Amino acid sequence: MTSGLRLRPAEQLLVSRARDFLAAGPSDVVELVAHICQLPAPPRSVAEHMAMALLAPWDEFAREADGQWRLVAAATSTALSAEAGGPTRVPAARHLGASAGSAPPDAAALAASDPLADLSYVVVDVETTGGRPDGGDRITEIAAVVVQGGEITRVYETLVNPQRSIPPMITALTNISWEMVKDAPTFREIVADVAGVLRGNVFVAHNAAFDWRFVTSEIARATGERLEGRRLCTVRLARRLLPQLPRRSLDHVARYYGVEIAARHRAAGDALATARVLLRLLADARDRGCRTWLELDALLSGARSTRRRRRSALPRPMDRDTTA
């Protein structure tokens, strides 16, 4: 079991069919394979082999001791996910109840009990050509700062050729021009390095939904794989721990903690500042009794429900640095 990010094969049509079919409840493997492959009922041995090959790589499917397959509920709540990023999952036991009276460990419970101090984090910041990864915008710079044992242990940063023009207003904000990135590697050329620094860590960003959408989109475009795993948003954590601040932009939170931002609106400068802010936020969370992933989840769930009651009629801001 891993506590951090991992890459999975891109979703396929047959997997979608299996998910839809099992949403109604567990199914015998012969009926399941017949449905998803749209074939007459195959021999059981063939169905077993096909189901294992197709569904075993996916955490959301589980095989019962009697041979039936079912969907596994999301292993963690959406509280720690970036709000627009959806729920995250941790690996679940794919073969349940191996012997009578001997239940396997609950993977979700084990993961939820992970001490925060034992987890490793990767703080990510991206600069982009705009705000819509699904509308043609691309990454122009990425930084990833690894935090382990309460210390920054690695910094990865690079400019990226977005293979499209950079709008003048973006250049004015980030100081990243086409001249700077035209000879930089494309994301496809650095994807192995990016995946290497992300893998096994909790994904962290200031307004994590923004950075997560761009990173996952670029990885999927370059490799056909999807990034999945735990995410933590320092904006949301600051909302809960620092209610006295008028705003929770990176500038405001960093200033509160006395953290200097060496190069604002550049990936490495923002990521390093966010990493130092993360360490302070986790220390404050620990002072409030949050020592495990589950306890942090509970803290953020309370913050989310309170904000929704108070501001349900207000639209969510799009800019990551104006998020209140």
The whole domain housing 48 covers: 12-73
pLDDT in tens, 158-174: 999 999 999 999 999 99
pLDDT in tens, 22-41: 888 899 999 998 888 877 88
- pLDDT of 225 reads 84
| E strands in 101-162 | 121-128, 139-148, 151-159
Confidence of residue 103 (pLDDT cuts 50, 70, 90): very low
| Mean predicted confidence (pLDDT) in 18-25 | 85
Q: What is the mean pLDDT of the chain?
A: 81
Domain count within the chain: 2
Q: What is the CATH number of the domain that holds 38?
A: 1.10.10
Q: Are residues 283 and 191 part of one domain?
A: yes
Q: Are residues 36 and 124 part of one domain?
A: no
**Residue 151 forms part of a structural domain:** yes
Q: Are residues 265 and 162 part of one domain?
A: yes
**Residue 89 forms part of a structural domain:** no
Q: Are residues 40 and 151 part of one domain?
A: no
**Residue 310 forms part of a structural domain:** no
| Contact indicator for 5, 122 with CB cutoff of 8 Å | yes
Read off φ and ψ for residue 298, nearest 5 degrees. Answer: -65, -40
**Residue 78 forms part of a structural domain:** no
**Reported pTM:** 0.68
Q: Are residues 136 and 68 part of one domain?
A: no
How far is 234 from 123, CA to CA, in rounded Å? 10
Q: Are strands 121-128 and 202-205 parallel, antiparallel or unpaired?
A: parallel
Q: Are residues 139 and 253 part of one domain?
A: yes
Q: Are residues 238 and 130 part of one domain?
A: yes
Of 13-17, 142-146, 230-234, the one with minimum mean pLDDT is 13-17
| Contact indicator for 125, 271 with CB cutoff of 8 Å | yes
Q: Are residues 263 and 133 part of one domain?
A: yes
**Residue 311 forms part of a structural domain:** no
Question: Is the pLDDT score of 81 beyond 80?
Answer: no
**Residue 3 forms part of a structural domain:** no
Q: What is the CATH number of the domain that holds 260?
A: 3.30.420.10
pLDDT in tens, 187-243: 999 999 999 999 999 999 999 999 999 999 999 899 888 888 899 999 999 999 999
Q: Are residues 209 and 120 part of one domain?
A: yes
Q: Are residues 133 and 229 part of one domain?
A: yes
Q: Are residues 284 and 232 part of one domain?
A: yes
| Contact indicator for 93, 62 with CB cutoff of 8 Å | yes
pLDDT in tens, 261-279: 998 889 999 999 999 999 9
How far is 144 from 124, CA to CA, in rounded Å? 5
**Residue 141 forms part of a structural domain:** yes
Query: SS3 letters for 38-91?
Result: CCCCCCHHHHHHHHHHHHCCCCCEEECCCCCEEECCCCCCHHHCCCCCCCCCCC
**Residue 293 forms part of a structural domain:** yes
Q: Are residues 150 and 273 part of one domain?
A: yes
Q: At what angle do helices 187-198 and 208-223 cross, to 10 degrees?
A: 120
Of 57-61, 169-173, 200-204, 292-296, the one with minimum mean pLDDT is 57-61
